[in-house]
Structure 1
Amino acid sequence: MSNDLDPVRRLRVLAAGLHAGMYAEEHIPLPYEQVWAVAADLPAELPRLVPFLHAFHVPAGDTDRKQALAVARPGLREEFDVRLASGWCLMQSRLIVGGMAAVPEGGGTRFAVLGATRPTALRPVQWLYGRLLGDRRGRAFVGRVAERARLR
């Protein structure tokens, strides 16, 4: 038996370790390839999935580690280190950690998303966000991924 965790389990462990303010995990009744095509298309899809995001610039190339630039609607900019592999996406800036993971499951896809702050000084804000909005925002994100995947 292997000790390796699949991408969704790995994201779940990361969310617990970060005390993530947002974490959602659901089964999407669509093929993995269709769902992951949305999650992996960061420049085109991430601004559709994250309401306050205007653009997410990722350089072209086949490497699994890239530097990206997020541009929020008010014009704020943040650089992210992005790790992208099949079923796994982890995006980290100096303030934020975001992630998505997916695995095939029962004719569909198990999909997860997380959002967390990095500095421990922001933990009280993250805790409050998680209590007030985290669950709803996480489920909404998964719903948008499913809707975008249906359109493909």
Structure 2
Amino acid sequence: MSFNPMFSNKKTTQKVTENASNVRILGGDKPKKERKVRSDKKFDIKVPLTEKQRILIRRLAKSNDMYPTHYCEYLVKKGLSRKVPVPKEKSEYPSSSPLSFHVRLEERFLEKLDEFCIQWDCSRKKAAYRILMGMINAEGESLYGRTF
């Protein structure tokens, strides 16, 4: 006589019943919870630049002990929060340039940027570029005494 039913000679005709609580139903009875959005979520804007503008930004960032990307973000935020002179004429927008810096803005700054987009009838990239160039011209004048 064996205690293991596998080695038993007798065949049992017992039906195996599944426990309903162990079976998962696809879709489930639970409603899916929506994921919460972070309150400090940032939106990325890729601002195209010319080679000269990129070099200038790197120099200005180095003189302020910052990385170029953080410096561009700082300038755009500063330009959006204050009424800084923005070039009235549309400067040469380097749309086909592979060179760029990213500007990461929180939602409150993005809303202000969208207001400028509506006012100037342009995209977010062009508005961010225009504000960035206005700030660089203001920074360049204060440091070097000339406009770029």
TM-score bin (small chain): under 0.3
Task: Name the one with the larger strand percent.
Answer: 1
Task: Name the one with the larger helix percent.
Answer: 2
Which is greater in Rg? 2
* Structure with higher RCO (Cα < 8 A, 6+ apart): 1
What TM-score, normalized by structure 1, do the two folds share?
0.26
What TM-score, normalized by structure 2, do the two folds share?
0.27
